[in-house]
Amino acid sequence: MPIHYLKVSVKIILVTSFLKHMNTVYDVIIIGGGIAGASLAYHLVSQGVKTLLFDRQDQGWATQAGAGIVSPFTASNAIGFGNDSLFHFAVEALEYYPILMKQLDKQSDSSIFANNGLMVVAVTEDELEKFEELKSTICQRFEKRALSTTKELRFLSNDEAQQMFPPLAETKGAIYVSRAAQVDGRLIAQALYEAAEQHDLTVKPVGVEQLIIQNQVVKGVVANGNTFLAQKVAIAGGAWSIEFEKQLGLKIPIEPLRGQIIHLNVTNINTTNKPIISTVSDRYMMSWPDNRLVVGASRESVGFDIHTTVTGVHEVLGEALRVTPGLKDASLREIRVGLRPIAQDQLPILGTAPNIDNLYLATGLGNAGLAAGPYIGKVVAEVILGKNSQSNIDAFNVQRFNS
């Protein structure tokens, strides 16, 4: 065959393939590839739902930076956990993690998910008042779930606390909660994508410019100048979900909250099977088996600015050394910066969109992103598919901002 015929043939095949793709109508399009988007995609495609996910991979993606503390019983009221609906939902999310890990065939991989518990500590006398308040809150939360505080909680002496985590300073108060776990955001997202792609998930690394809406019904999206059609669309864009406020005529009041998180390398401390350490001011130290210890995190309302700062690093390291002076010889491995999507009332934004059919939201996860993100994907997938869910997410609907 002459070479010019071959070139024409290839061109025809490429054009035909492009047109075929453009004529495809997906069951669901997902906007956003963080933990919520990845989980939503997995739970849809595993049910045979033809799904297209757009992920433009913005810098500052919270999933790639977050520490991954899964501990609803100790979480601060200041980050939304004073709300009973969020607390109970977060407990369900914690209980779902082992189920999900088994589905992903990762249940024995402690580098992704580890259930080592969490220790709350006070290291100065002036922290004892807050410590006692938090201890009371933890006990009340166990009572709400009808769980035994005798079996689930341990009140530790200084010697017991330092035995569990040797770098600790002398403690004035310490309580160990066994119902707490940790997850590596990057690895769990990767595992979800790998599993979803086995079920033919399509991923495009581009952004969505606008939604296609006709007669108050969403029909698809425009991405990279091209039209993609779908029966349903879900917005899971984290802090960037607010980009669709104007077109939708909806308030989606989410603010990016910057967190600077520091990864340390420690060689003189065994970092395997160690509990998470949490202070009464809600700072933390988390160990991973690869001689890595994560400390954080700053909370800064600076918009979409994702660069590290001397002030932020000083704040994080200063608190870490105050509470765990045994880390003084650790070396700096990495600094990660993420933008947590914080809703106005500190609660996630989940479920249907008012006045627009076939549009769904899974965003505003805030500080609970990695803790609840995989479960949010499951629950919102159930809503999209019209299935009954064990979780009531009415309290998280965006309607609360759009009366």
Mean pLDDT of the chain: 91
Helical pair 35-45 and 185-197, crossing angle rounded to 10 deg: 30
pLDDT of residue 12: 36
Question: Span 94-110, mean pLDDT?
Answer: 94
pLDDT above 60 for 4:
no
Q: What percent of the chain has pLDDT over 90?
A: 82
pLDDT above 80 for 144:
yes
Model pLDDT for residues 72-95, shown as the tens digit of each residue: 999 987 778 889 999 999 999 999
Q: Which residue has the higher pLDDT, 13 or 123?
A: 123
Q: Minimum mean pLDDT among 56-65, 102-111, 378-387: which range?
A: 56-65
Q: Minimum mean pLDDT among 11-15, 139-143, 289-293, 332-336: which range?
A: 11-15
Per DSSP, the three-state class of 167 is coil
Rounded to whole angstroms, the Cα distance separating 114 from 105 reads 14
- Give the model's confidence band at 3: pLDDT under 50 very low, under 70 low, under 90 confident, else very high: very low
pLDDT of residue 317: 96
What pairs with residue 359 in β-bridges? 233
Q: Which residue has the higher pLDDT, 120 or 107?
A: 120
pLDDT of residue 13: 33
pLDDT above 50 for 10:
no
Question: Span 343-351, mean pLDDT?
Answer: 95
Query: CATH says 25-401 is which class?
Result: alpha beta
123: DSSP letter:
-
Residue 118: what residue type? Answer: L
256 within 8 A of 396, measured Cβ to Cβ: no
